[in-house]
Amino acid sequence: MSFQPTDPISPPFETAELRRLLTGFLNQCMPDPTSGSEVPVGNFKFGVYAFFDYDGEPIYVGQTNEKLRTRIRRHLTNQRTDAVAMKVLDPFEVFEIEVWPLPQYEGRTTADPEAKGHLNWLEFEVFRFLITRSKFNAILNEKDPLSVPDIGYMRPPSLRGRVVSETVVDLRGHPDTRIARRAETLSLLAKVISERQVQVGLRRTLLTQARRLAWLAERRLEELAGIPEEDDRDT
């Protein structure tokens, strides 16, 4: 007898949990200095976001001028971005999100030069800042953000939160599960590279992902060092 879900329309449990926690995060309010009101952080049009894995390691930085909610959800739930399609970013690795909205540009067009300049600088500044916090001195982005001169811009207040529930951590957080998932992502990325004419940045991402896999596997081996192995042979 084949398995029949209780509700065939509903997404799998882990997907539903991600959507639930992601919605909760994006609905958290931050003050809008231009209006004096509290606004859900996901509703800000211009902003920069960063994803972190289960070890707190920064793995991806991006910017948006179409609302933080729209852009982040596209990465993590719709999977219709280049980063996901090219196997640069695995949404299953995202444990926490941090966002830096630019509320002062609400109402501006996407082509507004002042908003674009500040947004490009902020992405570069966040990327540079998080690189210094990385164990590998690297982030998985295929391309580095544009280097923008600092003309007195300020990094705005940020909001950070997790988008993985404790139940999902129990299902997905075991290091062996994460090693297998990361190895699969690495293999798929290598396949993309072998089948296409790609820029050098994607090969750099491949190397960074390989270093991340090796670090996780090495740490797991160290955790198990000295523990007697079970004898699986028949007695």
Indicate the domain borders of the chain.
13-168
- For residues 101 and 105, give the distance between their C-alpha atoms in angstroms, rounded to a whole number: 10
> What region does 138 belong to: left with phi over 0, alpha with psi -120 to 50, or beta?
beta
Q: Which residue has the tokens 């391309």?
A: 143
Q: Which of 6-15, 35-44, 72-81, 89-98 has the lowest mean pLDDT?
A: 6-15
Element (H, E) at 127: helix 113-131
Q: Which residue has the tokens 């800000």?
A: 44
Rounded mean pLDDT of 128-151? 91
Show the tokens assigned to 21.
């926690």
Rounded mean pLDDT of 207-231? 89
Fold topology of 13-168:
GIY-YIG endonuclease (3.40.1440)
- For residues 121 and 148, give the distance between their C-alpha atoms in angstroms, rounded to a whole number: 5
Rounded mean pLDDT of 98-126? 95
DSSP 8-state assignment for residue 158: -
Paired strand residues for 58: 52
Exposure on the CB side of residue 70, measured as CA atoms within 13 A: 10
- For residues 119 and 153, give the distance between their C-alpha atoms in angstroms, rounded to a whole number: 10
pTM: 0.90
The pLDDT assigned to 233 comes to: 53
For the chain, how many residues are written? Answer: 235
Q: Which of 74-88, 177-191, 207-221 has the lowest mean pLDDT?
A: 74-88
Residue 36: pLDDT band with limits 50, 70, 90: confident
Q: Describe the strand order of the beta sheet including 96-101 as a list of residue ranges.
A: 58-64, 47-52, 96-101, 159-162
The pLDDT assigned to 229 comes to: 67
